[in-house]
Amino acid sequence: MSYELVGITVLWIFLYGYLIVASIDFGAGFFAFYAKFTKKDHVINQLIARYLSPVWEVTNVFFVFFFVGIVGFFPETAYYYGTAMLVPASFAIILLAIRGSFYAFENYGSKQSTLYTFLYGVSGLLIPASLSIALTLSEGGFITEENGSVTLNYLDLFTSPLSWSIVVLSVVSILFISATFLTFYAARANDLPALKLVRTFALFWSTPTIIAALTTFIVLSQHNERHYENMLDLWWMFGLSVGFFLMAIWFLYQQKNYGLAFISVMLQFLFAFFGYGIGHYPYLLDPYISIHEGATHASMGVALVGAFIGGLLLLIPSLILLMKLFLFDAAYVKGKK
Amino acid sequence: MELDTVLMSRLLTAMTLGFHIIFATLGVGIPLMISIAEFIGIKKNDPHYRLLARRWTRGFVITVAVGVVTGTAIGLQLSLVWPNFMQVAGNVISLPLFMEVFAFFFEAIFLGIYLYTWDRFNNPYIHWSFSLPIIIGGGFSAIFITTVNAFMNTPQGFETQDGTFSAVNPLLTMLNPATPTKVFHVLTSAYVTCAAILAAITAIMMLKGKVTAYHKKALRLTMSLTFLFALLTAVAGDFSAKFLADHQAEKLAAAEWHFETEQNADLILFGWLNEDDEPTGEIRIPGLLSFLAHGDFNAEVTGLEAFPENERPPLWVHYMFDLMVSIGFFLPAVALLYLVVAKVKKWNEHHKGILYLIGLSGPLAMLAIEFGWIYAEEGRQPWILRGYMTVEEAATSSPYVTHMFFLFLALYVVLGTLCVVTLRKLFRNNPAEEELEKHYPSLEKGDNE
């Protein structure tokens, strides 16, 4: 396996990791706001706060890791995406900044404010919407390069069914992933009123998720036939994805095995995300950047892979410790520590 | 009015960095102070120091949050605002950027653990030990990022072929000539700044009448650390000047207003430039520049005129340099004054005048960081990558950068204000005396003198 393939695989795994942990975080923020709005905050907000407090920073790092990595392995992406994404990515940064800092202000500061909760909840939905533009752009047709200057055609972007279906898909997926995780977490904390509420959220958001996924699939076939054909060749991955989705729903209905329900959702998105990503190969930006021509030098690629392995050896034990202390420590989850 | 995109790109980046560096500096230095306080507290079994660590940590988390989000901003802005730079340099400097993220990740994980496990272990050293990865992670973040900045000043470790970089040696790019002095300077100055800021907060509380044993211990500790790290920073600054004289002479020459290459060069302090760009009203110390640059009063120091006119940094960096150095002398002087007065039994180290000076030294230390970075960045102009790429060639072609500048300006105003408001509320609603009683009720009263 060539180093650029190793690089993109690693980065894609990290993006998948971000997708899961950030979805939990973003969705939880929205549910916390929704609960406050409907005066049910006493039921779930304690639960959400206990999970979010120790991990919010870690979530952000997944994202930083991805974009630093992609510019490292494929510097061409800085040139094209950097120029084209100036506005949408700046919006995403500002939303991330508001979200992260307001969370800290509210949580570690003294005052509870509905405004903070509102911004925290809404920014969580707007961030994925603006970041998902990068995925839309990668399909090609929105970025043009003329006379050495890269431009993004905003009119095409905002009128494209593809970009809107990706935005919708990202938002509903977040709510579905997050609700399933919170169901599992509530069950673990033995918090029955919260469990009841978040379980209905999970069931509610399952249908829009699968509909949005299918819609995106169809719209993509109109926009980028090559990518669509590649994805059809990977039909088994998407089949597995749907299978795991059905399993997750089954577990949720059964009202037991919530841990397995969440794992099924993770696998559902794993197969869909990798099916999509492998279908995208070899382009990072259709047709300007392919992973072979856009890759950095071998020496840098190898150094990055080396740093990555070294870093993982350091991080995995630390992450395990973090999870042991907070996520899987039943006494902590139940609020006794 | 159509504003120049290159200028706006520079201003946007300067603003983001200028704002981020405050929180980045705190992020590197404060954990060390917290760790020292907690260690002394455990060792001496003194609740005052442990409470100090707790309270510093509580404020620290708020600044970390702002540091994280502004760090994310600058990380992305590198690609968004300087796409041409990252396209070329990304090939060469992505390794330290990548490792920086790891170091930060490491720090973030342990910060989460440290925050939420204060009373969870029977052995207090276990909790204390979680502060070490935070210090190490923060320190290494600073080191890795500084190697990138050092690389921009003295690029090496690659060959160029038709405008692109080839045959890259990632380790050599990181260990470029500017790295050792820059890393040393960045770390020591972060530590002295954080010690000075914590001392300043304590001094201001004491000026407001809170002269308790808790505050006295806090002041003693932070002033001793300020003195120690201020001396180290001065040493680092001296090394940096010697490095510049050898490897980046135009940067030193611009800062010192040293125009002609000569032996036994004078050091120019303060002053201003007249219409013919000649220093006026300055203090001249004969031969000292030669001594500072090369350790020999007769050594030859390269002047600015040895460089082509379009490759000289702007002359106003002299003011930045002088301000930074002046503060660099002010900090250890105040700390020494406090320590000497504290040593003499008859004298009162908590005299109002001394407390005022200490209260001043915190903000000044942070200003010195800002002046130092402005000097470091402006002193490299016109280059973004010295000798290879100018900032003009590197900037984005997107016309929206002006809009983004104002958007981010609004963001930083909001974040900065809320950060200060939150911190003030946090400590005002929860004074140290009350908390001391809550956490350590067994502590004898009567500490308040």
Give me the interface pTM, i.e. the ipTM: 0.80
A53 in reach of chain B (CB within 8 A): yes
d(CA A40, CA A295): 51
d(CA A198, CA A206): 12
C-alpha distances in Å from residue A168, one per residue of A31, A200, A215, B365: 17, 20, 10, 49
Q: Considering CB atoms only, which of A54, A90, A111 is closest to B116? A: A54
B426 in reach of chain A (CB within 8 A): yes
The answer to whether the beta carbons of residues A251 and A264 sit under 8 Å apart is: yes
Which tokens in the block code for residue B446?
A: 């009567």
d(CA B242, CA A8): 43
A316 in reach of chain B (CB within 8 A): no
The pLDDT score that the predictor gives to residue A38 is 82
Which tokens in the block code for residue A18?
A: 């971000």
Low-confidence stretches of chain B (pLDDT beneath 70): 1-3, 163, 167, 440-449
Which tokens in the block code for residue B425?
A: 């509320």
The 8 Å CB, 24+ separation contacts for B114-121 are: B114/B57, B115/A53, B115/A54, B115/B57, B115/B61, B116/A53, B116/A54, B116/A325, B116/A326, B117/A325, B118/B54, B120/A325, B120/A337
d(CA B7, CA B5): 5
By residue count, chain A amounts to 337
pLDDT tens, position by position, B139-180: 999 999 999 999 988 888 878 777 677 767 888 888 888 889
Please indicate whether, in this complex, the C-beta atoms of B120 and A311 are within 8 angstroms of each other.
no
Computed on alpha carbons and rounded to an integer, the radius of gyration of chain A in Å comes to: 20
Portion 82-111 of B in contact with A at CB < 8 A:
82-84, 86-92, 94-95, 97-102, 104-106, 108-111
Q: Which residues does chain A have within 8 Å of residue B414's beta carbon, measured at their own beta carbons?
A: 98
Q: Considering CB atoms only, which of A68, A100, A319 is closest to B98? A: A68
Please indicate whether, in this complex, the C-beta atoms of B425 and A311 are within 8 angstroms of each other.
no
B26 in reach of chain A (CB within 8 A): no
The one-letter amino acid at A62? F
Q: Which residues does chain A have within 8 Å of residue B61's beta carbon, measured at their own beta carbons?
A: 104, 108
Q: Which residues does chain A have within 8 Å of residue B408's beta carbon, measured at their own beta carbons?
A: 90, 94
pLDDT tens, position by position, B309-338: 888 888 888 889 889 999 999 999 999 988
d(CA A41, CA B213): 43
Q: Which residues does chain B have within 8 Å of residue A52's beta carbon, measured at their own beta carbons?
A: none
d(CA A316, CA A185): 22
The answer to whether the beta carbons of residues B269 and B322 sit under 8 Å apart is: yes
* Beta-strand relationship, B389-390 and B272-273: unpaired
Enclosing H/E stretch for B324: helix B317-343
Please indicate whether, in this complex, the C-beta atoms of A85 and B80 are within 8 angstroms of each other.
yes
C-alpha distances in Å from residue B332, one per residue of A76, B224, B362, B437: 48, 10, 12, 35
* Residue ranges covered by each domain of chain A: 3-333
d(CA B30, CA B407): 30
d(CA B410, CA B416): 10
Count of Cβ atoms closer than 10 Å to residue A234 Cβ: 16
Specify the 3-state DSSP secondary structure of A103: helix
- Report the gap between the CA of B380 and the closest CA in chain A (Å): 23
Count of Cβ atoms closer than 10 Å to residue A263 Cβ: 17
Instruction: Quickly state the pLDDT bin for A205 (edges 50, 70, 90).
Output: very high
B15 in reach of chain A (CB within 8 A): no
Q: Which residues does chain B have within 8 Å of residue A53's beta carbon, measured at their own beta carbons?
A: 112, 115-116
d(CA B33, CA B197): 11
Enclosing H/E stretch for B51: helix B47-81
A317 in reach of chain B (CB within 8 A): no
d(CA B113, CA A319): 10
The answer to whether the beta carbons of residues B419 and B63 sit under 8 Å apart is: yes
Distance linking the first and last C-alpha atoms of chain A? 47
C-alpha distances in Å from residue A231, one per residue of A271, A276, A290, B273: 11, 6, 17, 68
Q: Which residues does chain B have within 8 Å of residue A300's beta carbon, measured at their own beta carbons?
A: 91-92, 94-95, 168, 170
Cα atoms found within 13 Å of the Cα of residue B364, Cβ hemisphere only: 22
The answer to whether the beta carbons of residues A174 and A121 sit under 8 Å apart is: no
Q: Considering CB atoms only, which of B90, B111, B167 is closest to A78? A: B90
Q: Which one has a higher pLDDT value, A213 or A291?
A: A213
Whether residue A88 is preceded by a cis peptide bond, meaning omega within 30 degrees of 0, is no
Q: Which one has a higher pLDDT value, A334 or B304?
A: B304
d(CA B129, CA B39): 9
How far, in whole angstroms, is CA B104 from its chain's centroid? 17
A100 in reach of chain B (CB within 8 A): yes
Chains A, B: CB pairs < 8 Å: 228
C-alpha distances in Å from residue A34, one per residue of A52, A122, B18, B212, B425: 16, 10, 37, 46, 27
Q: Which residues does chain A have within 8 Å of residue B71's beta carbon, measured at their own beta carbons?
A: 64
The answer to whether the beta carbons of residues B111 and B57 sit under 8 Å apart is: no
d(CA B19, CA B364): 16
The answer to whether the beta carbons of residues A191 and A185 sit under 8 Å apart is: no
B409 in reach of chain A (CB within 8 A): no
Q: Considering CB atoms only, which of A87, A109, A337 is closest to B426? A: A109
The answer to whether the beta carbons of residues B257 and B268 sit under 8 Å apart is: yes
Interface test with A, best of B62, B86, B101 (most A CBs within 10 A): B101
Stretch A208-213: mean pLDDT: 90
- Report the gap between the CA of A70 and the closest CA in chain B (Å): 9
d(CA B256, CA B276): 17
Which tokens in the block code for residue A335?
A: 């609020």
Which residue has 């990304």 as its token pair?
B90
Q: What is the largest CA-CA distance in chain B?
A: 76
A144 in reach of chain B (CB within 8 A): no
Q: Considering CB atoms only, which of B79, B88, B94 is closest to A300? A: B94
Our CA dihedral for A277, A278, A280, A282, rounded to 10 degrees, sits at 130
The pLDDT score that the predictor gives to residue A185 is 86
The answer to whether the beta carbons of residues A180 and A194 sit under 8 Å apart is: no
A94 in reach of chain B (CB within 8 A): yes
d(CA B220, CA B440): 22
Computed on alpha carbons and rounded to an integer, the radius of gyration of chain B in Å comes to: 23
The pLDDT score that the predictor gives to residue A176 is 93
d(CA A297, CA B396): 24
B265: nearest Cα among B254, B253, B277: B253
Which residue has 């939905």 as its token pair?
A125
Q: Considering CB atoms only, which of A100, A108, A318 is closest to B68? A: A100
The answer to whether the beta carbons of residues A101 and A140 sit under 8 Å apart is: no
Which residue has 């009567």 as its token pair?
B446
B170: nearest Cα among B102, B83, B87, B96: B96
The answer to whether the beta carbons of residues B102 and A61 sit under 8 Å apart is: no
d(CA B408, CA A146): 29
- Report the gap between the CA of B431 and the closest CA in chain A (Å): 13
**Percent of chain A having pLDDT more than 70?**
92
Phi, psi of B301 (to 5 degrees): -115, 125
B294: nearest Cα among B259, B326, B325, B267: B267
Distance linking the first and last C-alpha atoms of chain B? 63
Q: Considering CB atoms only, which of A72, A80, A100 is closest to B97? A: A72
Instruction: Report the DSSP beta bridge partners of residue B159.
Output: B166
Stretch A166-185: mean pLDDT: 91
A14: nearest Cα among A71, A52, A55, A61: A61
Whether residue A287 is preceded by a cis peptide bond, meaning omega within 30 degrees of 0, is yes
Specify the 3-state DSSP secondary structure of A204: helix
d(CA A184, CA A188): 6
Name the residue of chain A whose CA is nearest to B80's CA.
A82
